[in-house]
Amino acid sequence: MTESGKMKSKSLVISLMLAASIQTFNADLIDQKCPIDCECHYFRINWVIDCSESNLTSVPYDELSSNVYVLDMNGNNIEHLNPFPTDIKLRRLQMAHNHLSELSYDSFAGLAYLLDADFSYNMITRVDPEAFRDSPGLITLELQNNPLIEVDSHFLNCRTLLYLDLSTCGIHRLNTQFFHNTTNLKKLDLSGNPLQQITPGPFDHLTNLEYLKLNNCTLTHISPEAFIHLENLRELDMSNNNLRTITWSTILAPLVRLESLNIGNTGITNLPADAFNKNLYLRHLVLSQNELHHLDIENTLGHNLHNLQSVDLSNCGLQDRLSEETFKNSSKLRVLNLSGNPMFAGDLTAVLRHLPKLHKLSLSNCSLRRLPDAFDVLEHLEELDISHNPLSDAFVKLLNPLRSLEYLDMSYCSLGYVGNNTFAHMTSLKKLILSGNKLHTLDENLFANLTRLESLELKNCGFTTPLDPNIFGSDKISSSVIELRLNGNPLEMPDEGPLLPKQLSNVEILDLTNCSIRRLNPDILSRNKNLTHLNLSNNRISSLEFLRKLRRLEHLDLSNNLLTTINRKMLKSNSHLLSLNLIGNPFVCNCSIVDTWDWAVHEKNDLHVLIGSKPSEFATGAVKFRKSLSCTYDDETYRNVTNQRLLMRKGDVTPHRTWAKYIRESNCERQA
Ligand SMILES: *[C@@H]1O[C@H](CO)[C@@H](O)[C@H](O)[C@H]1NC(C)=O
Ligand SMILES: *[C@@H]1O[C@H](CO)[C@@H](O)[C@H](O)[C@H]1NC(C)=O
Ligand SMILES: *[C@@H]1O[C@H](CO)[C@@H](O)[C@H](O)[C@H]1NC(C)=O
Ligand SMILES: *[C@@H]1O[C@H](CO)[C@@H](O)[C@H](O)[C@H]1NC(C)=O
Ligand SMILES: *[C@@H]1O[C@H](CO)[C@@H](O)[C@H](O)[C@H]1NC(C)=O
Ligand SMILES: *[C@@H]1O[C@H](CO)[C@@H](O)[C@H](O)[C@H]1NC(C)=O
Ligand SMILES: *[C@@H]1O[C@H](CO)[C@@H](O)[C@H](O)[C@H]1NC(C)=O
Ligand SMILES: *[C@@H]1O[C@H](CO)[C@@H](O)[C@H](O)[C@H]1NC(C)=O
Ligand SMILES: *[C@@H]1O[C@H](CO)[C@@H](O)[C@H](O)[C@H]1NC(C)=O
Ligand SMILES: *[C@@H]1O[C@H](CO)[C@@H](O)[C@H](O)[C@H]1NC(C)=O
Ligand SMILES: *[C@@H]1O[C@H](CO)[C@@H](O)[C@H](O)[C@H]1NC(C)=O
Ligand SMILES: *[C@@H]1O[C@H](CO)[C@@H](O)[C@H](O)[C@H]1NC(C)=O
């Protein structure tokens, strides 16, 4: 690497650090090493080296600062790990999405400070049980999505480990000593392994376990002794297995502290009355996606439902008519999910009259042509989902008595008309979703009485013109709506003047994603001085003059539009911006990008403002790849760059660059 290249990357590092030190006033935060292919920054007071998604074939061991806190090597082509420098104080190692084939002690010897390690999505077949012998504080180990081969003894020797993710690792069998030396585990994820059965033994040492995931494990058999020592288990997920023949009361009996059980999609066709006899703390039960065609809810669930607060019976193919007595004994039930089962409004009318304490009810996709006439009893109901039912316009007025309702989803109900008596008394309503209805008539004053409404969703309603002012009542009174989502309406934007009626001048969050917008006139949002969040993603916008009036704007999403260039002048009026998403625009690699980057670093003091410039957080189990900001060189500039071969590595074969990489190899004048 050339001297000028070195200077430049160093000055970038220092400018990033200045930004960090302004927040921390810590003089020690200066001068840490940063490898050439990587991007480094402080996260609070911790040095983060981000070498992710850079086509690297090895860890840049020689260039690592010994004070590195996080080393992010996700998404490279690394096949083998050499020993780390002996004095390194690495706390978190991220190696997801590489080509590692084993984890051995040699690689990690001396990593005395390691707390979290992520090796998910590699090709690891073998893990040396001693691999982390030198890391006496290791808490989290992620190994999901690796083709592990079977082990005969204990898997790992690591007493401090609290969280182990072994999901989708091709594990067929767990020997009885598998968890022998990881006895402090609190959270264990084994989902997605073809275990077929749980034999006695493997879990016997996990007496501290609180969360266990065994979903998607092709399970057909579970030994009655499988869980006998899991007395501290609080959450168990066994969904997506075939557990038709399980004797539930025996298997669940030891789990005396169980609070939450998911046995959705397990092929069960019935449940005995004593299934949860010993699980006195069980409050949440998910039974969804089971073929419970002829479940006698009254008798089979009757005993069990005494203590349950929440039951999910969604998509259970319930075929029998519900009798009036169905939920008679479920006096504590607060949350009931019946979505995806064909229902008759008349039956529901009778059933719901026994559930006056219900707080949440989901009747989505229940083939309802009309609504049950029982909402007058549900005086505590706060959330109601009746979406995806072919409702007839006329019955919607039955919702009228729901005075406590705070959340109402009536999206995709084939409604063409909503009368102004529907919401007349819903003075508690905070969120209303009417998306996916081709609403041709909205009555005058329809929303006028919704004095607490904060959020209104009208996505995909086929609107071409913006909302009629009359539906919000008098233009002397501002509506309380602060969040408005109009995504997917092919709106014709006015050439001049504002988009929204006067009543909506309090809106702070406006979503206009996918609205076929090409141009926004400079006054389009002039009434919405309070706007803080604006989402314009997936449109065809190429210029930004409308931004000048949005002085309170904090979050702006312009991803997937047609911007080819941007610079700090365009953002002059938006001094409160906290995030700007420009991902997915056809930017040309030129100095305006350096200018925008400098704006983020110097003016905003935080590169995180530019979404996709670098990672913002380190999530466990989350998607590891991220989209990044990119640009493309025009042909001539690219020829010049390849001729100079300044900061190029073999493998940089396309004119496509992430902004971070372009900044490092560009020769633009920097304005401090
Ligand atoms: C990595 O290599 C691939 C294929 O050669 C290329 O498409 C990609 O842009 C490269 N990524 C980086 C960050 O250099
Ligand atoms: C694993 O645990 C067993 C039983 O607690 C113990 O005897 C053995 O020494 C441990 N293995 C190692 C390598 O520490
Ligand atoms: C489990 O199975 C469900 C349904 O088949 C699927 O949607 C889900 O992604 C699977 N999860 C895992 C961890 O394999
Ligand atoms: C319903 O509750 C009553 C009174 O508590 C009880 O006698 C009856 O057995 C219960 N029915 C069922 C099916 O549990
Ligand atoms: C009801 O079940 C459906 C389908 O499983 C789910 O999407 C929805 O979130 C559930 N609703 C409630 C209130 O639990
Ligand atoms: C509605 O439920 C049916 C089964 O009753 C299912 O096939 C369909 O996918 C569901 N539709 C939606 C939108 O959830
Ligand atoms: C709003 O509420 C008032 C008082 O309860 C009532 O007189 C009026 O008719 C309601 N508005 C609508 C559109 O129903
Ligand atoms: C309800 O809407 C109709 C038709 O738009 C209108 O004539 C009537 O005045 C409205 N009622 C109220 C209370 O606003
Ligand atoms: C965008 O909106 C159109 C209707 O204008 C809709 O058909 C399409 O599915 C939407 N696309 C996405 C990705 O939501
Ligand atoms: C905007 O916000 C301010 C204070 O946050 C509030 O007083 C005002 O009513 C809001 N609405 C408009 C239209 O300015
Ligand atoms: C904007 O909308 C898109 C599409 O719905 C969504 O993915 C994105 O997260 C939204 N952006 C913000 C900042 O909320
Ligand atoms: C490419 O390099 C030549 C010679 O240094 C220079 O004259 C030309 O302006 C450069 N073109 C671009 C687009 O940078």
Distance (Å, rounded) from C-alpha 376 to C-alpha 65? 67
Burial of 44 (0-12, 13-18, 19+ CB in 10 A): exposed
Task: Pick the residue whose CA is nearest to atom 3 on ligand 10.
Answer: 530
Average pLDDT over residues 659-670: 81
Q: Mean pLDDT over all residues of the chain?
A: 88
User: Which residues does a 6 A CB cutoff place in the pocket of ligand 9?
Assistant: 488, 490, 514
407, containing H or E segment:
strand 407-409
Top mutation candidate among 443, 447, 470, 474 for ligand 8, by most atoms within 8 Å of CB: 443
Entry pTM: 0.82
Phi, psi of 22, deg, nearest 5: -60, -35
384, containing H or E segment:
strand 383-385
The answer to whether 405 touches 379, Cβ cutoff 8 Å, is no
CA of residue 476 to ligand 8 center, whole Å:
18
- Say whether pLDDT at 200 is over 80: yes
CA of residue 419 to ligand 8 center, whole Å:
8
- Say whether pLDDT at 567 is over 90: no
Average pLDDT over residues 348-360: 91
- Say whether pLDDT at 343 is over 80: yes
Nearest bound ligand to the CA of residue 385: 5
Nearest bound ligand to the CA of residue 166: 3
CA of residue 290 to ligand 5 center, whole Å:
14
Question: With bands split at pLDDT 50, 70 and 90, how would you rate the model's confidence at 54?
Answer: confident
Top mutation candidate among 483, 535, 538 for ligand 11, by most atoms within 8 Å of CB: 535
617-662 pLDDT per residue, tens: 445 554 555 668 899 998 888 887 777 665 555 555 678 888 888 8
Share of the chain above pLDDT 90, in %: 64
Residue 414 identity (one-letter amino acid): S
User: Which residues does a 6 A CB cutoff place in the pocket of ligand 1?
Assistant: 53-55, 651-654, 656
The answer to whether 73 touches 52, Cβ cutoff 8 Å, is yes
Going by the DSSP 8-state scheme, the letter that residue 570 receives in this structure is: G
| CA-634 nearest atom, ligand 12 | 13
Task: Pick the residue whose CA is nearest to atom 6 on ligand 4.
Answer: 329
Query: Residue 415: what pLDDT?
Result: 93
CA of residue 292 to ligand 4 center, whole Å:
22
| Residue 371, helix vs strand vs coil | coil
591-608 pLDDT per residue, tens: 999 999 999 988 988 888
Query: Residue 296: what pLDDT?
Result: 75
User: Which residues does a 6 A CB cutoff place in the pocket of ligand 2?
Assistant: 154, 157, 180-181
Query: Residue 272: what pLDDT?
Result: 82
Q: Does residue 640 have its Cβ closer than 6 Å to ligand 12?
A: yes
User: Which residues does a 6 A CB cutoff place in the pocket of ligand 4?
Assistant: 299, 302-303, 329
Query: Residue 17: what pLDDT?
Result: 38
Query: Residue 473: what pLDDT?
Result: 87
Which is nearest to 378 in space by CA: 343, 428, 340, 448?
428
User: Which residues does a 6 A CB cutoff place in the pocket of ligand 6?
Assistant: 340, 365, 388
| CA-639 nearest atom, ligand 12 | 1
Distance (Å, rounded) from C-alpha 177 to C-alpha 422? 62
Diameter over CA atoms, the chain: 83
Task: Pick the residue whose CA is nearest to atom 5 on ligand 5.
Answer: 314
Question: With bands split at pLDDT 50, 70 and 90, how would you rate the model's confidence at 90?
Answer: very high
Burial of 559 (0-12, 13-18, 19+ CB in 10 A): buried
- Say whether pLDDT at 381 is over 80: yes
| CA-364 nearest atom, ligand 6 | 14
Q: Does residue 479 have its Cβ closer than 6 Å to ligand 11?
A: no
- Say whether pLDDT at 360 is over 80: yes
Which is nearest to 642 in space by CA: 660, 630, 654?
654
Q: How far is CA 1 from CA 50, 180, 246, 375, 646, in A?
A: 19, 50, 65, 73, 7
Task: Pick the residue whose CA is nearest to atom 1 on ligand 1.
Answer: 55
Query: Residue 656: what pLDDT?
Result: 85
CA of residue 302 to ligand 4 center, whole Å:
7
| CA-216 nearest atom, ligand 3 | 1
Task: Pick the residue whose CA is nearest to atom 7 on ligand 6.
Answer: 340
The answer to whether 288 touches 262, Cβ cutoff 8 Å, is no
466-487 pLDDT per residue, tens: 888 899 988 888 889 999 999 9
- Say whether pLDDT at 122 is over 90: yes
Task: Pick the residue whose CA is nearest to atom 2 on ligand 9.
Answer: 488
Query: Residue 554: what pLDDT?
Result: 97
Query: Residue 31: what pLDDT?
Result: 61
Query: Residue 28: what pLDDT?
Result: 52
96-116 pLDDT per residue, tens: 999 999 999 999 999 999 999
CA of residue 470 to ligand 8 center, whole Å:
10
Top mutation candidate among 284, 341, 362 for ligand 5, by most atoms within 8 Å of CB: 362
Query: Residue 166: what pLDDT?
Result: 98
Q: Name the token pair of 211.
A: 């969360």
Task: Pick the residue whose CA is nearest to atom 4 on ligand 3.
Answer: 240
Average pLDDT over residues 147-174: 96
- Say whether pLDDT at 139 is over 60: yes
The answer to whether 33 touches 10, Cβ cutoff 8 Å, is no
CA of residue 282 to ligand 4 center, whole Å:
18
Query: What is the distance of C-alpha 333 from the center of its chain?
Result: 28
| Residue 433, helix vs strand vs coil | strand
The answer to whether 551 touches 574, Cβ cutoff 8 Å, is yes
Phi, psi of 321, deg, nearest 5: -60, 145
Task: Pick the residue whose CA is nearest to atom 2 on ligand 6.
Answer: 340
| CA-335 nearest atom, ligand 5 | 13
Go through 253-275 and write b for each residue having 16 or more CB atoms within 10 A of its CB, e for each that does not: bbbebbbbbbbbbbbbeebeeeb
Query: Residue 147: what pLDDT?
Result: 97
417-444 pLDDT per residue, tens: 888 889 999 999 999 999 999 988 788 8
Question: With bands split at pLDDT 50, 70 and 90, how would you rate the model's confidence at 446?
Answer: very high
Q: Name the token pair of 606.
A: 């935080």
Task: Pick the residue whose CA is nearest to atom 5 on ligand 7.
Answer: 425
518-536 pLDDT per residue, tens: 999 999 999 999 999 999 9
Residue whose tokens read 């083939």: 367
Which is nearest to 212 in space by CA: 242, 187, 176?
187
Top mutation candidate among 444, 450, 474 for ligand 8, by most atoms within 8 Å of CB: 444
CA of residue 337 to ligand 5 center, whole Å:
6
- Say whether pLDDT at 392 is over 90: no
Q: Name the token pair of 193.
A: 């392994």
Q: Does residue 468 have its Cβ closer than 6 Å to ligand 8?
A: no
CA of residue 423 to ligand 7 center, whole Å:
9
User: Helices marked H in 280-365 — which ranges?
Assistant: 345-352
Query: Residue 645: what pLDDT?
Result: 61
Task: Pick the residue whose CA is nearest to atom 1 on ligand 9.
Answer: 488
Number of neighbouring beta carbons within 10 Å of residue 395: 15
Of the two residues 479 and 262, the one the predictor is more confident about is 262
Residue whose tokens read 């898997």: 155
Nearest bound ligand to the CA of residue 368: 6
Residue 211 identity (one-letter amino acid): Y
Range in 202-206, 405-409, 487-491, 567-571 the model is least confident about = 567-571
CA of residue 137 to ligand 2 center, whole Å:
17
Query: Residue 14: what pLDDT?
Result: 36
CA of residue 448 to ligand 7 center, whole Å:
8
